[in-house]
Amino acid sequence: MKDFWNNRYQEDEYTYGTRPNEYFKEKLRDLNQGILLLPAEGQGRNAVYAALQNWEVTAFDYSEVGRKKALELAKKNGVEFNYQVCDALDFESETLFDVIGFSFTHFPVSIQKQVFQNLLKFLKPGGHVIFEGFSKEQLNFSSGGPKDKDMLFSRDEVKDYFDGLEFLELRKDFIVLDEGDYHQGEASVIRFFAKKPFEV
């Protein structure tokens, strides 16, 4: 799978474009700037946008090519951020984050919950999660995403995978994607905005 992403990110054009994910952008602008984590960030479109909005950004992906393209995009835009190359289950940080942003971060079903729960350990109490991923109904569309239904999301699965969060918004939407060559056209997505409760 790593070779698949390295090959895709090797293409001349930015695979999913250089503009941020619209839902991520919409929710991030309502929050005070702070420290942001972007898992599976690919070629850096969300990281660059957030850095331009004065967020302190840490990103990671297991594609070295994705990191290279992300840092090139950052340089073009005059921003910097910390970008690590690692597997989602191996990510570690001494920093706790104000926000974690997930944009189309799909993992094999055998590790989905483990990955998300591991990353939530690095979210501050009172911190927020912004999430968009393809729903099960995405198999009816040709606008991108995994072809394995188990890697796609339902609202109930999201509640389970992100157990412990307070969901401020959780919905399934039908949208029109315009994100580079590989996210184009009608799509079915699960979106949520949630908060990590303070310990009682």
Query: Which pLDDT tens digits describe the chain residue by residue (200 residues)?
Result: 666 755 666 766 888 889 999 999 999 999 999 999 999 999 999 999 999 999 999 999 999 999 999 999 999 999 999 999 999 999 999 999 999 999 999 999 999 999 999 999 999 999 999 999 999 999 999 999 999 999 999 999 999 999 999 999 999 999 999 998 889 999 999 999 999 999 74
CB 130 within 8 A of CB 28: yes
Instruction: Provide the residue count of the chain.
Output: 200
Task: State the Cα–Cα distance between residues 57 and 178, nearest whole angstrom.
Answer: 24
Whole-prediction pTM = 0.95
b/e string for 52-83 if b means 16 or more Cβ within 10 A? ebebbbbbbbbbebbbbbbbebbeeeebebeb
All structural domains of the chain with their residue ranges: 2-195
Q: Which CATH architecture has domain 2-195?
A: 3-Layer(aba) Sandwich (3.40)
